[in-house]
Amino acid sequence: MLNIARLLPFFGRKVVKDHASAPAIEGFVTIDSFENGKCRQHVEGSNIWTLTGREYLAELISLKNFSGDEFFRNDRIAFIGLGVGSQPEVANISQLVSGVPYVPGEFLARVRVPGTFPVLSSTSSRTAVRFIREYGQTEISLPDNVILTEAGLFTDGDPDNNWSRTATPTGMAVADRAPMAYKTFEPVTKTTSFTLRVIWEVRFL
């Protein structure tokens, strides 16, 4: 988050005041691996919200037509994709560097539904949403050890078909699909002895 006080020398006080009261979107990712119920690795950190994700949010809150409640977007956050590559966390990220399948031929794993709404403070209500995916021992490890270093958050819409949800391709995470949010992290090893849990929170501050 920006330190407002440090911006004062460069901007007028009204600009800084308006910025301080503006809503911000923050993503926070937690990844844990477990063996026999014991946590073996834990990584966490904030993520980048991509340009694709920002466009998605803008269209999601916009009504296209009053007649028939027509919307610009009907797709929803539904998948997490994992990879073994790494790239700078910048807004124009268009794909995972090197996505890995969690089962043969499938790169996008469904998140748990319904989503949950963690309470961020005593005065907030549903200003954050939490997406969770738990991977079994034989998922991702196919059959060798995999060292994971990146993750993306994806919707259930087809980008090649006006984001239609009728035939969502789940094998597209490598080359044809931009994540809504992206995170690169310190290496996490996934073996057939480990389960893996990814918790991805989107917070509106």
For 135-191, what is each residue's pLDDT tens digit? 999 999 888 899 999 999 999 888 877 778 876 666 555 556 889 999 999 999 999
Q: Is residue 139 part of a domain?
A: yes
Domain boundaries, position 40:
24-65+76-204
- Over its C-alpha atoms, the chain yields an Rg (Å, rounded) of 19
Is 4 contained in some domain? no
Q: How far apart are CA 143 and CA 165, in angstroms?
A: 31
In a domain, 184, yes or no: yes
Question: What are the φ and ψ backbone dihedral angles of 111, each rounded to 5 degrees?
Answer: -85, 160
> Could you tell me if 32 and 190 are in contact, meaning their C-beta atoms sit under 8 angstroms apart?
no
In a domain, 34, yes or no: yes
* Residue 139 near residue 66, CB atoms below 8 Å: no
Domain for residue 145, yes or no?
Answer: yes
> How many whole angstroms separate alpha carbon 202 and alpha carbon 29?
9
φ, ψ (nearest 5 deg) of residue 195: -100, 165
Residues 96-136 pLDDT 10s: 999 999 998 889 999 999 888 887 655 567 788 999 999 99
1 within a domain of the structure (yes/no): no
Structure pTM? 0.82
Q: 118 lies in a domain?
A: yes
d(CA 117, CA 197): 18
The number of domains in the chain is 1
